[in-house]
Chains A and B, each alone.
Chain A
Amino acid sequence: MIALVAPLLLFLLASFVLPVLLMLSRAVTDRELQAVWPASAAALRQWDGAGPPPDALAHSVAREMVAARRAGTLNRVANRLNYDMVGSRSLLYATAERLENGAPGNTVAALARIDPRWGQRDIWAAMRHADGPLTSHYLLAALDLRFDADDRVTRVPPEQAVFGNIYLRTFKISAVVALFCVFLGYPIAYMLASLPERKANPLLILVLLPFWTSALVRTAAWAVLLQTNGVVNNALLNIGLIDTPIQLIYNRLGVYIAMTHVLLPFLILPLYGVMKGISPTAMRAASSLGASPLRAFVKVYLPQTLPGVAAGAIIVFTLALGYYVTPALVGGGADQMISASIAFYTNQSLNWGMAAALSLLLLVPLLLMLFAGRTMARTVPA
């Protein structure tokens, strides 16, 4: 029977598992300097990093800098070093040009005469960090940390520390959306479960209709409705709730509205499944023993639904963590989640190591949450 599963398994291993793992591996590998400057990479490994950089290293760096500039590959090293030390890029290009015009560069002192920064530790430390094949640079950077010139892990300057905030914002938006979904979805699931199926099924279509419509289409619908002169503002003006149109889109409010709408069915449907399986006898027993309806609900019914609430909330939360399209369309610049940063480093800044590190730091908490959710679901008797 494994023969029937094998084609799909092979397909997914090749087209999904492998690409994702290869992508994530970029978060911890560092091969640019090695690939472009092989001799310098070897010389860097000879240097212990504690003493002054040896002249042999300077010599091979100078030689390979010129060769790489001619071959058009210097930008790969320059970009990589720039991640560690701002200004490396211009330093490399300016130095390579001077060397090509005949300036001597066979010793550290000679290079320092071209630009005094070659006489300081920072650029050499940056090269040592970029020497590969493994690096913690990207993961540290994703946590707003970096190695200083003395190989100690330090915080990056506050004006560069952006990712902590973005992760915090991503988790906060996801948690708020999950809370909204529980608040709005619980009564719906409860009502559906308390109705006979004949009456519940037509109402269920009202949940399935948004579930079937793609997230993009629903986000587009909200983008249309929430405009400053759009339908929602007009309605609020007409009933006199507001005097002037309010900003409902391209801010946090728009993100909360659209994401809650997109994700609400993911809470209602599993919760409805759990509630349908709850036998009414315990509630009846509680009432017949004199518990008030509210007390019976809180003490008897609610605890039985908590696994369903947790399961639904975890689904919503983990889906929200990775959302890209909805925040991009209805959020403002200050509402973008970590997925927007991943996209930025992939498409615009072309720093793939950074994109991979941010993905890894998104994936790890997400998988932990899902695992915790599954373990929780298993400890609850069905």
Chain B
Amino acid sequence: MTGYRSRSERAGRALLIGFCILVFAFLVLPILAVVPLSLNPGTFLVFPEAGLSLRWYRTLAESPQWKHAFGNSMKIAVATTLIATPLGTLAAIGLAHMRSRSKTLIVAIITAPLVVPVVVVAIAFYFLFAPFGLVNGPVGLIVAHTALAVPFVVIVVHASLRGLDLELLRAASSLGAAPTTVLLRVLAPLIAPGIAAGAVFAFMTSFDETTVALFIAGPEQRTLPIQMFEGVREQISPAIAAAATLLVIASTLLLGTAELLRRRGERSGSAAPDVGA
């Protein structure tokens, strides 16, 4: 920026800002718009004119299907998080110490679930589990969700390790700490924010996952996304707006926290060399 600005430059800048405001509105307004819609006392999907009502939230809270779906989603997401977080954290630590050519291949395998379209993953699991009768049970879904969630754990934890001073670990070892002690007492506290962020990402990946669940979850394992998908498909009502509102709030709180943790993790990681110096 040169300080001196021609009139055409100012006009260009105004045009840019105007365009950006429209795009920001496009990005955010549809998400925010569901909030007033969900408070509608009537059955129409319009902004409420005569007073607000929690009617549709009560409908959700009293519906056995929605409650059941919520319980299933929680159960499956917690199980996914509990498996994906340690697996991904260990792998990220291992990867941070590797410098070989095999690392490229390993990273490719670990990130493959992010590349392959979910519908392909979904039918792969469907074909795999159908002969064993695992379709319909929670095990198949937990395994599938873990595969989809674990790359996020590896990426986030790996990033928090990047700036970490490995001398600290060597120092601990040279002072006689056993490898497990180094891992649990020195390394884990240093990268705890990164691990926590990874766990939240894993949880949300499972909690939000729709496609695989649509294919392999049975009636007993209906998750929240399935409930929502069928609600939109069959009978769209302000109850959908209410569920969407709750999910937007939940994911914003959780992933916002994870983002803060991730940044703190990367910063504390990169600050470590100063501590060592």
Contact = CB atoms under 8 A, between A and B. Distances in A.
Interface string A1-35: 11111111101110111011011001000000000
B256 A329 contact: no
Chain B CB within 10 A, most for which of A3, A8, A287, A363: A8
B31 A12 contact: no
Contacts, number: 244
B81 to A, nearest CB: 15
A231 B37 contact: yes
B192 interface: no
Given A23-B128, A329-B232, A8 B88 contact: yes
A208 B263 CA distance: 14
Chain A CB within 10 A, most for which of B26, B116, B243: B116
B20 interface: yes
A153 B88 CA distance: 48
A209 interface: yes
Chain B CB within 10 A, most for which of A203, A224, A261, A347: A224
A190 B12 CA distance: 13
Chain B CB within 10 A, most for which of A7, A212, A363: A212
Nearest to A330: B232
B48 to A, nearest CB: 11
B191 interface: no
Interface in B69-100: 87-88, 90-91, 93-95, 97-98
B127 A224 contact: no
Interface in A226-281: 227, 229-231, 234, 261, 264-265, 280
Contacts of A2: 94, 98
B101 interface: no
A230 B45 contact: yes
Interface residues of A, number: 82
A229 B45 contact: yes
B106 interface: yes
Interface in B92-150: 93-95, 97-98, 106, 109-110, 112-113, 115-128, 143-144, 146-147, 150
Q: Is the interface of A mostly helix, strand, loop or mixed?
A: helix
A343 B256 CA distance: 34
Contact of B16 (A23, A190, A234, A343): A190
Contacts of B204: 212, 214
B124 A19 contact: yes
B24 A188 contact: yes
A215 B228 CA distance: 12
A261 B120 contact: no
Contact of A294 (B12, B37, B112, B146): B12
A289 B225 CA distance: 57
B208 A216 contact: yes
B23 A188 contact: yes
A282 interface: no
B229 interface: yes
Those 10 A-B pairs whose CB atoms lie nearest each other, nearest first? A322-B117, A4-B94, A214-B208, A5-B94, A8-B91, A212-B255, A23-B124, A339-B119, A1-B97, A19-B124
Interface of A: 1-9, 11-13, 15-17, 19-20, 22-23, 26, 184-185, 187-188, 190-191, 203, 206-210, 212-225, 227, 229-231, 234, 261, 264-265, 280, 284, 287, 292-294, 318, 321-325, 328-329, 339, 342-343, 346-347, 352, 355-356, 359, 362-363, 366-367, 370
5 contacts: A12-B150, A20-B116, A220-B244, A221-B34, A222-B30
